[in-house]
Amino acid sequence: MPALPPPPLPERGAAWALFADIDGTLVDFAARPDDVVLPPPLLNMLGRLRDALRGALAVLSGRDLDAIDRMLAPLELPVGAVHGLHWRDARGRRHMQAPPPDIAAAVERACAVLAAALPGVSLESKSGIAFALHYRNAPQHAVAVRERAARLAARFAPHYLLQPGDCVAELKPAGGDKGSALRALYGDAPFHGRLPIAVGDDYTDEAAFAAARELGGFGIVVGTRRPTAATYALPAPRDVAAWLERSIERLVGASGGST
């Protein structure tokens, strides 16, 4: 499989719209999701990027919306949260695709029992509708988590499906993904009509890559995971930050590197 090239840089004033994941993309993973922190220089850079893109910057993440807001504070960006099931548009309006409450409660109880039976596995509830079983601190349980989570997904189908990820198996409601969130956000200002670019590292970002491509843009995969629908690649979050810094310089007309 041929290597993917690094992404291009924009021309001054280019009408780009950027949709970025957080974990594994803007910042490295941590032992626990709650340990991940966006340092002040990164938050400052994201604020400058938003301004350079005239507001066309959004976050697409598996985390819930309130957790994303805490991480990004004092920034408040358009967001596609819980893998696209909960999103906030540029006007501040919130939208959610949610399963029946009794089904969601039953899935959460079943996931809690599963996590309790496997020491080191933790359960993360996302907006009370999606439930992630993290095994980064207990890799010996990887197969057991994936197999048992798959059985739960089959048990609660068609309301729920299994979303695998990096050291996580997630039970998420059917019907939405990062691609659907990107399309929803792209349908309105300030994103509409711009070149959509999706940046992410995980399997869940593939839907966003495909959506960006369908709308005339492209995807950037972070890391070595292949195959991918992305057109370009960057090795790690630090390389994403460097590319974004150079993109800001180009967008606002300061000195920067060549494409």
DSSP the chain: -PPPPPPPPPPTT--EEEEE-SBTTTB---SSGGG----HHHHHHHHHHHHHTTT-EEEE-SS-HHHHHHHHTT----EEEGGGTEEE-TTS-EEE----HHHHHHHHHHHHHHHHTSTT-EEEEETTTEEEEE-TT-GGGHHHHHHHHHHHHHHTTTTEEEEEETTEEEEEETT--HHHHHHHHHTSTTTTTSEEEEEE-SGGGHHHHHHHHHTT-EEEEESS--S-S-SEEESSHHHHHHHHHHHHHHHHT------
pTM of the model: 0.83
Give the CATH number, domain containing residue 24: 3.40.50.1000
Nearest Cα to Cα of residue 32 among 100, 120, 96, 114: 120
Q: In terms of residue numbers, what domain contains 68? A: 16-95+176-252
Residue 166 annotated among the catalytic residues of the structure = no
Residues 77 and 110 in one domain: no
Q: How many other C-beta atoms are found inside a 10 Å radius of the C-beta of residue 242?
A: 13
Q: Looking at the structure, do residues 32 and 89 belong to the same domain, yes or no?
A: yes
- My answer on whether 108 and 215 are in the same domain is no
Say which residues have a Cβ less than 8 Å from residue 184's Cβ, sequence separation at least 6: 80, 87, 89, 95
- In the predicted structure, residue 259 carries a pLDDT above the cut 60: no
pLDDT tens track for 88-124: 999 999 998 888 999 999 999 999 999 999 999 999 9
Same domain as 143, residue 85: no
Residue 257: pLDDT above 60?
Answer: no
Total domain count for the chain? 2
What are 61-80's pLDDT values in tens digits? 989 899 999 999 999 999 99
Instruction: Specify whether the CB–CB gap between 215 and 195 falls below 8 A.
Output: no
CA distances (Å), origin 65, targets 76, 87, 254: 11, 7, 34
Contact between residue 246 and residue 234 where contact means Cβ atoms under 8 Å apart: no
User: For the chain, how many residues are written?
Assistant: 259
pLDDT digits (tens, 9 = 90+) for 209-236: 999 999 999 999 999 999 999 999 999 9
Domain boundary among 149, 173, 197: 173
Catalytic pick among 21, 89, 201, 205 = 21
The residue among 173, 205, 234 that closes a domain is 173
